[in-house]
Amino acid sequence: MPLFKLYKLHLSPQRSYVKTLKNLLGFVPGNVSLYKMAFRHRSMAVAQKNGFKNSNERLEFLGDAVLGSVIAEVLFKMYPYREEGFLTEMRSKIVSRANLNQLSKKLGLVEVIEFDNKVINYPSKQGSFLGDAFEALIGAIYLDKGYDFTREFLISHIIKPHIDIHQLELTETNFKSKLIEWCQRHGKDVIFELINNAEGDNSKLFTISVNIDGEQFGTGADYNKKNAEKLAAEKTCEKLNI
């Protein structure tokens, strides 16, 4: 074992935390501070300059992109004769918050996530914090170890042992229909509204907001309008605990 790994595991001031991460992830982390950030929920974040808080949200953003890239490659190779719409739908199923929450539980990440216990008392707040931490972890691994290592980690330690892609192919996850049906049962008006996105008016990115009785609940962004609506509907279903 390289000296730096021996030092981190047995001599460094953070050796207890490093051993915990090694047991959870199967490798010795390099930059431990990245992983601590990945597991810090916004309820435990401390305000920095310009109102920025040191939570895991930025790493979540990065991890989402890396995860989506690896999943896209796996699906592209697994289904050489399926159309783009099918591949997009399958990727959405794999990276859905419900699925990422389950993966986070399987990995035991709840043991290391820092969050205010008040989050547990509010279903609308706890719905995605496990999945968010999983994406933030992928962002941390990417910054710490690089893309190739992260890709191999995802394929060998996450996708192959924990994700039954063929079973997901048979699973229906139409969050938009679920949401519309729920609103109809409860006599509520739901609108899927196209809003301005961060990339500007000339971007091909679609950002969709779900408004229920005039109140915004969830947003989703994708380069396909239908997928953006699905993402917004999924986040809304999580908030409403549907």
Torsions phi, psi of 218, nearest 5? -150, 150
Whole domain around residue 191: which residue ranges? 175-240
89 catalytic residue (yes or no): no
Angle between helices 3-10 and 15-25 (to 10 degrees): 110
Give the strand pairing for 215-222 and 190-195: unpaired
Strand residue runs (E) in the chain: 190-195, 206-212, 215-222
Residues 170-204: tens digit of each pLDDT = 776 678 888 888 888 888 899 999 887 655 555 67
Q: Position 140: which residue type?
A: A
**In this structure, are residues 191 and 219 in contact, taking their beta carbons and an 8 Å threshold?**
no
Rg for the chain, CA atoms, rounded: 19
Out of 135, 144, 229, 238, pick the active-site residue.
135
CATH number, domain containing residue 194: 3.30.160.20
Out of 64, 132, 222, 229, pick the active-site residue.
64
What total of structural domains would you count in the chain?
A: 2
Q: Is this prediction's pTM over 0.75?
A: no
**In this structure, are residues 104 and 130 in contact, taking their beta carbons and an 8 Å threshold?**
yes
CATH number, domain containing residue 160: 1.10.1520.10
Residues 69-128: tens digit of each pLDDT = 999 999 999 999 999 888 988 998 899 877 898 899 999 998 888 876 665 554 444 457
Q: Alpha-carbon torsion 25, 27, 28, 34, what sign?
A: negative
Domain shared by 146 and 179, yes or no: no
Q: Is residue 6 part of a domain?
A: no
Domain shared by 39 and 136, yes or no: yes
Domain shared by 134 and 70, yes or no: yes
Q: Which one of 169, 193, 224 terminates a domain?
A: 169
Tokens (6 digits) for 108? 């035991």
Domain shared by 153 and 179, yes or no: no
64 catalytic residue (yes or no): yes
Residues 148-175: tens digit of each pLDDT = 999 999 999 999 999 999 888 877 667 8
